[in-house]
Chains A and B, each alone.
Chain A
């Protein structure tokens, strides 16, 4: 049993909780995740570890499905039945030079610990975060504190630059292309909706800039035993849970990933009490 010690609504539909999990907190590294089971009837849901201290881990999630909705309803003092972790390979962090860290939607929460690690490793970190609209921009100040420069976008232009995160990245790369004294970033790291990560990958492929994305496929056990999270990288099947979650963006099959994340759409609606569309 893991006690919730803090709950903050970061934005509409986006919740941050701090949960007691000392053993996981001591082991957590950037890019890793946990598998959460709310109660004895609950499903196993993977959530990125957004932050951690000595005794607790921070999880940030969007109310998108049955379980995240229920998780959002928990209050400080409530308990989560089971948390397993840390899971997945940590993000490979080194002093690469300049790293662009991109977070879209709730992916901002997930890119934050990675950006911080890149900064601590001595990189120049350029952050790009984006959401649909102003109310959904989260962790701006935290990201600012670990980035040399931070760019913010909204799809509807209600905050920051109007447009998509990939537009900002394109702008940055354009500047380098036209200039004589700046150089391309050594690495781009992106996490967010599949289509966003795909757009980033398509762009950086043109420039041959190494790009890593963190995938969030459907999982059950999250320890390599079911294969629900399988993805294709370099034409080979890999498991998101134990081979990832970070993969080379230029050889990952995003179309397949997108299709596989839609497998349970009708069931989700049924669990929510909505009519399947």
Chain B
């Protein structure tokens, strides 16, 4: 059997924001590492968007060489402590592990996390920074957005020897890793460590800078940046478009989670951002953001019902997080679609009208499409509604940048080299795909760094020629 990650006791963790998964001990990690068959042609690596040499780092763990294991991971992945925790390994590397045929796959995520924790100190790794070479040493490149795509790209560019500057509009770097994913799934000091590591590579991090306004793309070129990577993510919350959505105590998941995760509203008034939710919370949606919102509300001592229009099988959220949410006491209302939010005379939520659904034919997403059951309307007795049905690409930079072409869904148009309609401006991550996983954004960040390097070299060659 694969060793699953030890967790905080349910009765304890529902009362705190500390991390749920506790991480492997050395013994547990080695035992798990020993199960790895060290395939000659490892399938797991093909499942990894950044192609970590998984068998190699697992072997190093087995040999007790934690530092080397971490360095092996960092050859490809700048954010192992993040990925070990939030990657959907069950759909990626672990899904392809050959052990699946007979028994459980290797718990690669937990081993990556173990390596990231026990590896080495930041200083030790910083030595790894390759010496800036020749032409590239003086070349300035910019990365816009400090989420997983931006952090990865900036780190890789710095490793290549570029002078990389990372711009972030919020007051803290990390993007969705700090505003979106809760502390109990990804502790913020861990994100900060990863950001510090990236700064230690020589990346200059510039928060409170909204590109498009504080500085335009044009300003950056004028300022000497030779290539720019736009990784502004998908943070524009979608709403349902049903009556009552602007009542008080109706939150987008983004607002609710930002108040809690970034602004630390759960520590109000020690931190000065408040959050005002009632006692009975409905969270609408079936993805990880809906699960995160539910479990945050639960930790604030509320009764939480997750409302999802399809059945459990179709939920896009990670299996592990669905299990965690269930264990912790989130109630699930499947095959349920909200149609109206009811409010009192002061404009506060006092109910959620829903209808029951049934599954019909398979739709474009490969899942069975829900249909309303006529006459099934009922009212859920709640006083707070959190809407977690997805995010669209952030519109601000695209809106404020002339000549940057977008698709009708708001994503930025790029060619095969991730270059946008503006020469020298690249884009990747959720801003070109719509909301997707952390690791895919990181994969885009890596690819962008390579493409930017090629582009800059070609431009410089042109200048010389």
Contact = CB atoms under 8 A, between A and B. Distances in A.
Interface of A: 23-24, 27, 37-38, 41-44, 66-67, 81-87, 220-221, 223-228, 230-232, 237, 242, 256, 259-260, 262-264, 266-268, 270-271
Given A23-B215, A82-B171, A84-B169, A225 B272 contact: no
Contact of A221 (B170, B246, B270, B395): B170
B246 A237 contact: yes
B64 interface: no
User: At the interface, is chain B mostly helix, strand, loop or mixed?
Assistant: loop
Interface string B366-403: 00000000000000000000000000001110010000
Contacts of A42: 271-272
User: At the interface, is chain A mostly helix, strand, loop or mixed?
Assistant: mixed
B264 A259 contact: no
Interface residues of B, number: 43
Given A27-B213, A220-B259, A263-B248, A225 B273 contact: no
A225 B236 contact: yes
Contact of A67 (B252, B272, B346): B272
Contacts of A220: 255, 258-259, 263, 273
Contacts of A44: 171, 263, 273
B273 A242 contact: no
B259 A224 contact: no
27 contacts: A27-B214, A38-B272, A42-B272, A43-B272, A43-B273, A44-B171, A84-B170, A84-B209, A84-B210, A85-B213, A86-B213, A86-B214, A221-B169, A221-B258, A223-B210, A223-B396, A224-B396, A225-B179, A226-B258, A226-B259, A227-B237, A228-B251, A259-B347, A260-B246, A268-B274, A270-B269, A271-B268
B270 A262 contact: no
Contacts of B264: 41
A232 B207 CA distance: 31
Contacts of B209: 23, 84
Contact of B396 (A228, A242, A259): A242
B97 to A, nearest CB: 37
A122 B305 CA distance: 58
A233 to B, nearest CB: 11
A37 B171 contact: yes
B208 interface: yes
A267 B249 CA distance: 13
Given A66-B272, A223-B169, A264-B274, A85 B237 contact: no
Contact of B395 (A38, A227, A242, A259): A242
Contacts of B272: 38, 41-43, 66-67, 271
A224 B394 contact: yes
B248 A259 contact: yes
B254 A263 contact: no
Contacts of A24: 214
A260 B347 contact: yes
B271 A41 contact: yes
B276 A266 contact: yes
Interface in B235-292: 235-237, 239, 245-249, 251-252, 254-255, 258-259, 263-264, 268-276
10 closest cross-chain pairs (CB), A and B: A259-B347, A267-B274, A226-B255, A225-B235, A43-B273, A82-B171, A227-B252, A271-B269, A43-B272, A41-B271
Given A43-B272, A270-B269, A271-B268, A260 B248 contact: yes
A95 B325 CA distance: 59
